[in-house]
Amino acid sequence: MRTSLVLLAVLTVGPAWAQPAHYPSQPIHIIVSVPAGGGVDTAARLVAEGLRQRLGQPTVVENKGGQAGNLAGEAVFNAAPDGYTLMASQPAPITVNPLLYKSMAFDPTKLTPVAIMTSIPNVLAVRADLPVKSVAEFIAYAKANPGKLNYGSQGTGTTSHLTAELLQGRTGIKLVHVPYKGTAPALNDLIAGHIDLAFNELASTLELHRAGKVRILAVAAAKRSPLAPDIPTMAEAGVPDFESGTWNAITAPPKTPDAVVATLNAAILDTLRSDAVAARLRTLGMQAELLSPAEAGAYIAREAARWAAVIRAANIPAE
């Protein structure tokens, strides 16, 4: 009897990501809402490998960029709520897109929050040959050339777009928006000099800055990044109370069972806590967000409200 009780205790405790019966029994599919490259894609691939190791099933990553993440959102929204189709996305398709698109084929508020993978500060980066070396010089140059500087973004409604709108509202400068279908194509055009500036994640921009291909003028964070201690914050550069970061979430179709969501969340958090992944995130300037599904849902709701205020203040029309 004592032996039976010991065995029962062992089986009951199990790992933190103990699976509900029969889940998962087939490959898991993560649809990434942007093209390959950039913070969302990087975080999704780290998580995919972690899920494969912990849940014992292949995890397939598919990039489905377009419409600021709406194409991926629609695909996941209409998928079976069984835990085998997930979305890895930037904030836009699960927060502010309903304010920016006249019609959408899905309701992001009904998606099931699973986890927030990572967060990362944005930086103000300009093309290498733009004749400015500081935020103050940039603002002066923009005011002297109203409507002549263009900025790239990951797409309409993305944090990179809204951050540039916030900067215009705070400083009175006038810029022209050039939306792209993700971070990588926007950065490629910034490097080539086809656009003048962009707010992008520190992770995807820092090495380009170090190589002299673009110039980071400031970090949009409360404190300087330990990865780039020589780069000032926007507040230090003369734009007070200016913070902007992006984050990468995992969501599932509506009505995905709580037990499945809990299994995925536990496996994702265990992945993010692992030494190898934590070290990789540090090199990218990313911070793991170790939140429960309920906490992730609250996080998403707060961010939606914050950026909705920027959209209304900037009077950004719906497309």
Mean pLDDT by 10 residues, the chain (319 residues): 40 49 93 88 96 98 90 97 97 91 93 96 96 98 97 87 94 95 90 97 90 98 90 96 92 98 98 96 88 97 91 85
Q: Which CATH class is domain 121-245?
A: alpha beta
Q: Are 160 and 200 in contact (CB under 8 A)?
A: yes
Domains 26-119+246-314 and 121-245 share a fold: yes
Task: Return the domain boundaries, the chain.
Answer: 26-119+246-314, 121-245
pLDDT at 201: 87
pLDDT at 283: 83
Question: CA–CA distance from 74 to each of 40, 93, 113, 279, 314 (Å)?
Answer: 18, 9, 15, 34, 27
pLDDT at 181: 81
pLDDT at 20: 67
Greatest pairwise CA separation for the chain in angstroms: 85
- Residue 237 tokens read as 């550069």
pLDDT at 156: 79
pLDDT at 2: 44
pTM, rounded to two decimals: 0.80
pLDDT at 154: 82
Which amino acid is it at 271? T
pLDDT at 19: 62
* Domain 26-119+246-314: assigned CATH number: 3.40.190.150
Q: Are 274 and 63 in contact (CB under 8 A)?
A: no
